[in-house]
Structure 1
Amino acid sequence: MQSIKSLLAVPFAKLVKKSVLKWVNNPIETQEKVFQKLIKDATNTQFGIDHKFKDIISYNDFKNQVPVRDYEALKPYVDRMVAGEEDILWKGKPIYFAKTSGTTSGAKYIPITKESMPTHVEAARNAILMYIAEKGNSKFVDGKMIFLQGSPVLNEQNGIQLGRLSGIVAHYVPKYLQKNRMPSWETNCIDDWETKVEAIVDETLPEDMTIISGIPSWVQMYFEKIQEKTGQKIGDVFKNFNLFIFGGVNYEPYRAKFESLIGRKVDSIELYPASEGFFAYQDKQGEKGMLLQLNSGIFYEFIKADEFFDENPERLTIKDVEVDVNYVIIISTNAGLWAYNIGDTVQFTSVKPYRVIVSGRIKHFISAFGEHVIGKEVEQALQEAVLGSNVQVSEFTVAPQISPESGLPYHEWFIEFENLPDNISALAQEIDQLLQQQNSYYFDLIKGKVLQPLKIKIIQKNGFQDYMKSIGKLGGQNKLPRLSNDRKIADTLYALKLTK
């Protein structure tokens, strides 16, 4: 028998869908309103004064007065906010800092304000409601739901709470879902990832799990531990589990492995959350891409990825973007980030409505020889190469081998297999051909005998988990880069003797 909660979910989902479609059908006007409100609300902040917001009337004015920045360039303003100053990047003080691991600057402190926090919660909620509206089925809300996330324990600095984004969001689970939420608060607060997963397994095994959510690589670890304990498929352990919600990485390389672990196909919803904002979510099961959130206090700009490192690349708004072009995403938000480069690259799969896929990171590419191979290309090549075979891949990363012991340079693929292929060389050849078809620069380098075809190095079972543990990034929201333009990861894998 369905509960009142699940019965009410369907009409509520339809109301929310109607509200979402209002801005979906007026995208340009919606973004203009967001832009004007952002400028107005931040005019008297230190950043607004420094960049003459009072004189900004149009987007062209904004482009002329506010350059694109990354965290390093915005850090002097952020440091003043961390020190407790008010009205710096946004009016008043942030209510949180989402603390993330930076590259050159150590820890990064991403502000979250009372205006921006609700957009994170609303987008996550709407992703599920749009699914309910489409399917007309809400029975799963009566079961237990889990999100594999970071610790919700927050620290305080100058009156502002700080912690991981997933830990901050854990404080905003709606009351009507509190009884359904897992794991327990105590288990969620365990710092050590392996200990935490063991505790989650023990807590969830007796429960009726209907929704499981998290980054695929860490959910896979959870599934494998359940299978070790029970000897059963996940779908037999959790008979009503029918919805997997994920974000952070492309699910496709994991899909075959997941379906094998679960024992059947389950629906999935892709999310695109980040500390800087909740940018998109999958709004339809049959459509490729995620609905870009145009009404969430975020104004979007885009720069073509292959022009990004030019001296003065062209900045575009949504009205000028095209399908299947690789763009660096630039945001201005009601958390006080201005013309901010988050480092991600996206491609539009549709402009009516605006849907995107995450194609990679602007810093995560291989162009040691001018090939500019991106994450989406390596993922797609591998996925197509193993399609229809019994080969299953657990995890992988790619690096350039610039100085081999003999012969031409090449791309070195480090792959952890669930099921080994019968012929590694044949698989490498197939992946290489598929990569050449996608990337004309790579094709030219292979044909021109500048590079030799890629080589595969097999990583031992759980090798990538051991690697992440060795660098202190096991679990939570940490992700293995799909590819690097240097050999830091590759050399560490060799040094740890994780290759076979």
Structure 2
Amino acid sequence: MKKRIHDIDLFRKYPHDVQLELFQNLLDKAKNTEWGKQYGYGDGLSVREFQERVPISTYEDLYPYFERVMKGEQNLLWPTKIEWFSKSSGTTNARSKFIPVSPESLEDCHYKGGKDMLSIYVNLYPDTKLFTGKGLSIGGSHHPSELNDKVSCGDVSAVIMQNLPMWAEAMRTPPLKVALMDKWEEKIEKMVELTPAENVTSMSGVPTWTYLLLKRILEVTGKSNMLEVWPNLELFTHGAVAFGPYRQLFKEIIPTDKMNYLEVYNASEGFFGIQDQAGTEDEMLLMLDYGVYYEFIPMDQFNEEMPQTLTLDQVELGKNYALVISTNAGLWRYKIGDTIRFTNLSPYRIKISGRTKHFINAFGEEVIVENAEAAIIQACKVTGAVISNFTAAPVYMESGKRGCHEWLIEFEQEPDSLERFTQELDGKLREVNSDYDAKRQNDLALQPPIVHAAPRGTFMNWLRHKGKLGGQNKVPRLSNSREHLEEIMQVSNL
């Protein structure tokens, strides 16, 4: 672990050299693939030539290649054999996305990220007792592809767990056969049965699902908080959704200042970031030697037909960028759908600011997920509320009426006043987003937001209805259409 910290320090100091060497290695490795031959990877391309020759890709662009690999063809996008596909998180649509996972991406990206997370944690907290107990993780599930039973598909967590070495499997709970159960509610009950007897020192997972598991454990055991179940619990490694709105929930059921929280940026497409400083909340070191070459599209150019992409040495602080990656699994100039902004340039640290498809811009207000979460946190702080989930969408102008935003929020603890909660939410949005503020001036284009308190279990019921319980599935925070909001409100009879 100490040796790896030295390697991390190297890419902190020499980020551009590390990325350039990685870029050249990726092209050299893939030069004899179908894709590599098509775009002349064997010509010794510079970054600029690569950007000029190779198109920016969406999932739909690359899907014909993915489908051929799932049917058994190889050496199309990447030279080594692809036998695993991870189901893309972040979508509640009926159509799932499946991302190729190569042996290199598994070993040099996903596993490396997990090991680095431990290395960074131990470096931050050298007196840790983490390794005296087990790590609890809630996985998804996997199954043979419908196109080819020799290829397996599933949540990235399930792909990782299924391929863990024996020594790593011995350090985690619950047993693999439980962790990979495909029926979410049965899995939770089995975990509640088995894990309280273990000495759990750490947890990893999506905050939403982890919290639901912990609440169920407390219900069954009759304990008042998780320290009565696992007295040596000290770390929760979380990702997939912003932790800010959940922080108070976890503080209430793990009531100790000694509990540590570490954010990671791990997706189906790769492992990209790790929180490397104590107490920074959501700010992560961009990991530069994981077989991922990064480019960035400024969000003001995102919808252009041929947007300019920036390399790492061209980015600026505080601006929102759409992430574009080329990887050791054969994703070439691939838009993964996330937006990030840089909080530091030496070393490069980032915050996830949202999704390219999850925003509200019905009236030119350009509200992104990061704005919404900041507003939720502020409103909760002032009114004593604690939330478990939320979503929002626009109310469009009609018959001369002005528009507004409509929020559906499931409270774990109700605010002292829903009216004051709404005012604080609106005020914080105006503070952090000048476009929203301009539209709210004198109720010119936007009326004050409408906030509904959803009955307990509303979002879970909706996810169950969509067949999206567990794994890395999550509720879309913002949408420019009313489809999700109206479906969820229908479930909650609002």
TM-score where L is the length of structure 2: 0.94
**Which stretch shows the higher mean deviation, 188-197 or 465-474?**
188-197
The C-alpha deviation readout for 1:422-472, integer Å capped at 9, x for no partner, is: 221111111111101111111111116111011101100111111111111
1:4 corresponds in structure 2 to none
Give distance in 2, aligned partners of 1:301 and 1:376: 21
What's the secondary structure of 2:337's corresponding residue?
A: strand
CA gap of 1:154–1:124, structure 2 versus 1, over 3 A, is: farther
1:37 corresponds in structure 2 to 25
Q: CA deviation at 1:318?
A: 0.6
Query: Which structure 2 residues correspond to residues 221-370 of structure 1 after superposition, within 5 A?
Result: 221-229=212-220, 230-265=222-257, 266-288=259-281, 289-370=283-364
Give distance in 2, aligned partners of 1:491 and 1:177: 44
Say whether the 8 Å CA contact 1:82–1:158 is kept in structure 2.
no
TM-score where L is the length of structure 1: 0.93
1:395 corresponds in structure 2 to 389
**Which stretch shows the higher mean deviation, 317-326 or 398-407?**
398-407
CA gap of 1:176–1:81, structure 2 versus 1, over 3 A, is: closer
CA gap of 1:226–1:91, structure 2 versus 1, over 3 A, is: same
Letter in 2 for 1:233: N
Give distance in 1, aligned partners of 2:36 and 2:145: 29
CA root-mean-square deviation: 1.9
What's the secondary structure of 2:293's corresponding residue?
A: strand
Asked if 1:201 corresponds to 2:189, the answer is no
Percent identity over paired residues: 36
Q: CA deviation at 1:476?
A: 1.2
Asked if 1:114 corresponds to 2:103, the answer is yes
- The number of aligned residues is 487
Say whether the 8 Å CA contact 1:371–1:442 is kept in structure 2.
yes
Give distance in 2, aligned partners of 1:51 and 1:104: 33
Give distance in 1, aligned partners of 2:450 and 2:6: 51
2:123 corresponds in structure 1 to 133
Give distance in 1, aligned partners of 2:361 and 2:58: 21
Say whether the 8 Å CA contact 1:143–1:208 is kept in structure 2.
yes
Q: CA deviation at 1:403?
A: 4.9
Letter in 2 for 1:256: Q
Give distance in 1, aligned partners of 2:92 and 2:390: 21
Give distance in 1, aligned partners of 2:493 and 2:93: 27
Query: Which structure 2 residues correspond to residues 429-440 of structure 1 after superposition, within 5 A?
Result: 429-440=423-434
What's the secondary structure of 2:177's corresponding residue?
A: helix
Give distance in 2, aligned partners of 1:256 and 1:231: 19
1:150 corresponds in structure 2 to 140
CA gap of 1:67–1:155, structure 2 versus 1, over 3 A, is: closer
Asked if 1:421 corresponds to 2:415, the answer is yes
Say whether the 8 Å CA contact 1:365–1:375 is kept in structure 2.
yes
The C-alpha deviation readout for 1:364-413, integer Å capped at 9, x for no partner, is: 00011111110000001111222254211111111111157994211011
Give distance in 1, aligned partners of 2:10 and 2:356: 33
The C-alpha deviation readout for 1:77-99, integer Å capped at 9, x for no partner, is: 22222222221111143131213
Say whether the 8 Å CA contact 1:323–1:351 is kept in structure 2.
yes
Query: Which structure 2 residues correspond to residues 149-228 of structure 1 after superposition, within 5 A?
Result: 149-151=139-141, 157=148, 159-228=150-219
Q: CA deviation at 1:71?
A: 0.4
2:467 corresponds in structure 1 to 472
CA gap of 1:189–1:312, structure 2 versus 1, over 3 A, is: closer
Gaps of 5+ in 2: none
Say whether the 8 Å CA contact 1:459–1:498 is kept in structure 2.
no
The C-alpha deviation readout for 1:191-249, integer Å capped at 9, x for no partner, is: 22111111101111122211111100001101111221214111222111110111101
CA gap of 1:372–1:411, structure 2 versus 1, over 3 A, is: same
1:410 corresponds in structure 2 to 404
Letter in 2 for 1:72: E
Give distance in 2, aligned partners of 1:324 and 1:358: 12
What's the secondary structure of 1:241's corresponding residue?
A: coil
What's the secondary structure of 2:103's corresponding residue?
A: coil
Give distance in 2, aligned partners of 1:421 and 1:149: 33
